[in-house]
């Protein structure tokens, strides 16, 4: 239980500071730290990530840092696609899922290390308007892709959503973080609904993990402006690489551990 509290706090802090990315660690934390089987860890991760992301989104909503219409389109496409990802999850063996998850983590870490000073796209117009002719196909396509990953791996997808919003849709970083958190809430809710009826959930562990994640996200909201975001993302990327290597090694050399 102590392990679940500590790991939950770390996930919440990362979500609060980065607007996403912390969820990529939730599944391995629940499997190897809290001892949940993979089929329970995936929906548990989605519940934890959804609640903690909603908490982290509240101060950004009050600060008007959310693009609601873009979030609705992006999140709606992802919510529908999450059910397809969950169906695919049930068809694949746990070893294959975790190896794929480790590869996804490596991609996430690389994206965290990549510079994001330039923006592209023209979705965000002056005065808060949206150029739907340019924005709609991108928002639906990328939103659906993130939704599949949410259902398949139990991740909120913020590490993919933020670069898509900044580089693809042209949102400023502050708006991208707030909008990403809202999209993560929608995707996580859909993914959890797709998984919940098929898994046995340890609500004691989930409640402890979630409470710690919420507390961590609230604390991060107070501390975020004092930290260097570039350095923070760099060190987080290194942590993701290390966890990805551990997950891949466990999946390859000790696959029986996934069903313990």
- Residues contacting residue 230 through CB under 8 Å, at least 6 positions apart: none
pLDDT value at residue 117:
47
Are 52 and 213 spatial neighbours (Cβ–Cβ below 8 Å)?
yes
Average pLDDT of the residues in 111-123: 60
Find the Cα–Cα–Cα–Cα dihedral 195, 71, 236, 98, rounded to 10°.
20
**DSSP string covering 103-121, please?**
HHHHHHHHHHHS-------
pLDDT, tens digit (0-9, with 9 covering 90-100), for 232-245: 677 777 877 887 88
pTM for this model (two decimals): 0.74
Q: Does residue 61 carry a pLDDT above 50?
A: yes
pLDDT, tens digit (0-9, with 9 covering 90-100), for 154-195: 776 776 787 778 777 777 777 888 888 888 888 888 888 888
* C-alpha dist (Å) from residue 83 to 122, 150, 181, 193, 247: 30, 9, 20, 8, 25
């Amino acid at each position: 239980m102590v392990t679940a509290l500590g790991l939950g706090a770390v996930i919440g802090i990362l979500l609060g500071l980065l607007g996403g990315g912390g969820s990529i660690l939730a599944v391995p934390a629940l499997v190897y730290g809290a001892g949940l089987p993979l089929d329970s860890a995936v929906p548990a991760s989605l519940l934890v990530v959804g609640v903690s992301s909603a908490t982290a989104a509240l101060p950004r909503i009050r600060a008007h840092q959310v693009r609601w219409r873009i979030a609705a389109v992006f999140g709606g496409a992802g919510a529908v696609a999450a059910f397809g990802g969950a169906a695919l999850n049930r068809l694949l063996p746990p070893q294959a899922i975790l190896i794929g998850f480790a590869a996804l983590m490596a991609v996430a870490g690389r994206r965290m290390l990549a510079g994001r000073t330039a923006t592209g796209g023209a979705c965000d117009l002056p005065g808060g308007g949206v150029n739907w002719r340019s924005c709609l196909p991108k928002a639906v396509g990328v939103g659906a892709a993130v939704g599949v990953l949410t259902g398949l791996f139990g991740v909120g997808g913020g590490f993919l959503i933020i670069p898509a919003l900044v580089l693809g849709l042209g949102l400023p970083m502050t708006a991208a973080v707030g909008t990403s958190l809202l999209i993560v809430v929608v995707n996580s809710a859909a993914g959890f609904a797709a998984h919940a009826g098929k898994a046995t959930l340890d609500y004691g562990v989930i409640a402890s993990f979630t409470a710690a994640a919420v507390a961590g996200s609230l604390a991060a909201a107070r501390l975020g402006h004092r930290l260097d975001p570039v350095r923070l993302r760099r060190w987080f990327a290194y942590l993701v690489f290390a966890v990805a290597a551990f997950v891949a090694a466990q999946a390859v050399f000790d696959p029986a551990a996934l069903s313990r």
